[in-house]
Structure 1
Amino acid sequence: MASVKKDNRLTSSQSFLCVGFSGVFSKTVTSPLEVVKIKSQVGTFHCKKGFWQSFLIIYQNEGLRGFWKGNLASCLRLFPYTAVHLTTYKNIVLLQMDELGFISQWRALFAGGLAGVAAALATYPLEVAETRLIVQNCRQPTYISVAHTLSKIYRNEGLLALYRGFSLTVVGAFPFSVGCYAVYTNLDKLWQEPAFRFTPLQNFINGCLAAGVAQTLSYPFETVKRKMQAQSARLPHVGGADVHFTGMMDCFVQVVRNKGILSLWNGLTANTIKIVPYFGLLFTCFEMCKQVCLYRNGYIISPLSYKLMPGVDQSLGPSELEEVKRYLKNRNFGSEGSSFGNRW
């Protein structure tokens, strides 16, 4: 069994902002790896000579800014994605919790998968925009900005083009969840100790392992999805995809027939390398934001220290703690007023 825990010392808005800001920061720093990964998945000429040469070719053809194409769309997508994901996940988990507030690891992962699909549905057009912006040459752009990309795709290709390949997100969620489940159910064997004794470093390694296994299993679906997002008869070189196809199944067939089955994992090197810095920055930035919020709420003595504020009940929520402070302040003020009156 696994309990779904959250820090009740943060308000909902603070949790949301911590997650959003840490996600934006980690995505921005690791954007070059994301650009190389997506170009490899689509099959543009930049990535024909291997992983390391891809960086040089992108720099020579598009300059330094070429490594941050589509990053704004990716960052904008984080906030609504996080909001929908957290809300959906919370509601599903509440429905599946037992009377003691616990939920099995499998059910928690299943809830996470469903929440991910719901969040992807709400933000999928931004993912399509990100792919189009990354695949194009920023020195000869077809699209100028995120808003221009969305409006141009809608005008020229219709609403369905903004959701092209979405079914692969749904299908890919299942191997992703299975990969996470396979890792998390065997962690106690890996560390030879129960999960409640894991250190923060162990939990970080666990997250990287789970992400690595899960993304590897679901990677072929994402590769085909990126090709479908990029392909358009209205774009130069039909969007840059290395195969031509008429639909999802035809894309799988054409990739395997023309490029080999292993090409479904093109860009996996960049994706795997990205996992450690991405999650490391994500967790570090989240903890820093959380420390600032805890200090502001009055639970710790400094945003740079984990030392708890003396005399503060850490089990109280922010609103409850504020009420206690207000009560104590009024009581002290009342007692001071009484002593003042007695002196007269």
Structure 2
Amino acid sequence: MASVKKDDRLTRSQSFMCVGFAGFFSKTATSPLEVVKIKSQVGTFHCKSGFWQSFLLIYQNEGLRGFWKGNLASCLRLFPYTAVHLTTYRKIVHLHMDEVGFISQWRAILAGGLAGVAAALTTYPLEVAETRLIVQNCRQPTYIGVAHTLSKIYRSEGLLALYRGFSLTFLGAFPFSIGCYAVYMNLDKLWQEPPFRFTPLQNFINGCLTAAVAQTLSYPFETVKRKMQAQSARLPHLGGVDVHFSGMIDCFIQVVKNKGVLSLWNGLTANTIKIIPYFGLLFTCFEMCKQVCLYRNGYIVSPLSYRLAPGVDQSLGPYELEEAKRYLKNRNFGSGESSFGNRW
């Protein structure tokens, strides 16, 4: 069994802000690896000579700016994606919790998968925009900025183009959830101790390992999805996609037929290498932001220290703690007035 844990000392808006800030920073820092991964998945010429050569070719053809193409669209997805994901996840989890607040790991992971699909549906047009911005040459752009990309795709290709390949997000959620479940079911065997004794380092390693296994299993679906997002008659060389196809199933067939089965995992090296810095920065930035919020709420003595504020009940929520402080302040103020009046 696994419990759904959250820090009740943060308000909902603070939790949302911490997740958003951490995601924004970690995505921006690892954007070069994301660009190489997506170009490899689509099959552009930059990535035909291997992983390291891809960086050189992108730099030669587009400069440093080329490594951060589409990053704004990716970051803009974070806030609505996080809001929808958290809201949907909480609703699904609460439906399956028992009377003491526990939920099985399998159901929690399945809830995460369904919440991810719901969040992806909401933000999918931004993902399409990200792919289009990455596959184009930023020195000879077809699209200029996120808003222009969305507007131009809608006007020239129609609304459905903004959701091209979305069914693969849903299909990929199943192997992703299976991968998560397989790792979580064997964590106690890996560390030879129960999950509640895991240290922060062990939890970090668990997160990286889970992401690596789950993303590897669902990777072929993402590869085909990226090809479908990138393919467009309005882009030079049809978006740089290395195969021509007429739909999702045909894309799978053409990739396997012309490039081989393993090409469905093109860009996996960049994706795997990205996991450790991405999660490391994500957790670090989240903790830093959380510390600032806890300090502002009055639970700790400094945003740079984990030392708890003396005399503060850590079980109280932020609004309850504020009410308690206001009550004590008013009571002390009243006592002071009474004492002052007695003197006179």
TM-score w.r.t. the length of structure 2 is: 1.00
Structure-2 residue corresponding to 1:43: 43
Q: Distance in 1 between matches of 2:95 and 2:257?
A: 45
CA-CA distance at 1:200 after TM superposition? 0.2
Q: Distance in 1 between matches of 2:233 and 2:128?
A: 15
Q: Distance in 2 between matches of 1:239 and 1:136?
A: 7
DSSP-derived class of the 1:98 partner: coil
Q: Distance in 1 between matches of 2:259 and 2:2?
A: 43
Q: Distance in 1 between matches of 2:322 and 2:57?
A: 56
Structure-2 residue corresponding to 1:194: 194
DSSP-derived class of the 1:153 partner: helix
Pairwise mapping of residues 69-88 of structure 1 onto structure 2 (< 5 A)?
69-88=69-88
1:235-266 CA-partner distances (Å, limit 9, x unpaired) = 11011100000000000000000000000000
Pairwise mapping of residues 174-193 of structure 1 onto structure 2 (< 5 A)?
174-193=174-193
Q: Is there any run of 5+ residues in structure 2 with no aligned partner, and where? A: none
Q: Distance in 1 between matches of 2:13 and 2:304?
A: 21
Pairwise mapping of residues 40-189 of structure 1 onto structure 2 (< 5 A)?
40-189=40-189
One-letter code aligned to 2:259: K
Q: Distance in 2 between matches of 1:68 and 1:53?
A: 17
Q: Distance in 2 between matches of 1:55 and 1:234?
A: 26
1:231 has 2:231 as partner? yes
Pairwise mapping of residues 207-226 of structure 1 onto structure 2 (< 5 A)?
207-226=207-226
Q: Distance in 2 between matches of 1:180 and 1:114?
A: 13
CA-CA distance at 1:91 after TM superposition? 0.6
1:15 has 2:15 as partner? yes
Q: Distance in 2 between matches of 1:155 and 1:235?
A: 14
1:306-341 CA-partner distances (Å, limit 9, x unpaired) = 000000000000000000000100110111111111
DSSP-derived class of the 2:103 partner: coil
DSSP-derived class of the 1:138 partner: coil
One-letter code aligned to 1:341: G
1:242 has 2:242 as partner? yes
One-letter code aligned to 1:161: A
Q: Distance in 2 between matches of 1:76 and 1:167?
A: 22
One-letter code aligned to 1:7: D
CA-CA distance at 1:97 after TM superposition? 0.5
CA-CA distance at 1:89 after TM superposition? 0.3
Identity of aligned residues (%): 88
Alignment size in residue pairs: 344
Structure-1 residue corresponding to 2:328: 328
CA-CA distance at 1:234 after TM superposition? 1.7
DSSP-derived class of the 2:314 partner: coil
CA-CA distance at 1:233 after TM superposition? 1.3
Q: Distance in 2 between matches of 1:333 and 1:108?
A: 49
TM-score w.r.t. the length of structure 1 is: 1.00
One-letter code aligned to 2:244: H
Q: Is there any run of 5+ residues in structure 1 with no aligned partner, and where? A: none
CA-CA distance at 1:301 after TM superposition? 0.1
CA-CA distance at 1:19 after TM superposition? 0.1
1:247-304 CA-partner distances (Å, limit 9, x unpaired) = 0000000000000000000000000000000000000000000000000000000000
DSSP-derived class of the 1:242 partner: coil
CA-CA distance at 1:10 after TM superposition? 0.2
Structure 1 outlier segments of 4+, above 6 Å: none
Q: Distance in 2 between matches of 1:72 and 1:235?
A: 20
CA-CA distance at 1:114 after TM superposition? 0.5
DSSP-derived class of the 2:24 partner: helix
DSSP-derived class of the 2:305 partner: coil
DSSP-derived class of the 2:99 partner: coil
Structure-1 residue corresponding to 2:281: 281
Q: Distance in 2 between matches of 1:235 and 1:69?
A: 16
One-letter code aligned to 1:147: A
Q: Distance in 2 between matches of 1:337 and 1:264?
A: 76
Structure-2 residue corresponding to 1:28: 28
CA-CA distance at 1:27 after TM superposition? 0.1
CA-CA distance at 1:122 after TM superposition? 0.1
Q: Distance in 2 between matches of 1:303 and 1:255?
A: 51
One-letter code aligned to 1:182: A
User: What's the RMSD between the two structures over aligned residues?
Assistant: 0.3
Q: Distance in 1 between matches of 2:270 and 2:263?
A: 14
DSSP-derived class of the 1:141 partner: coil
Structure-2 residue corresponding to 1:305: 305
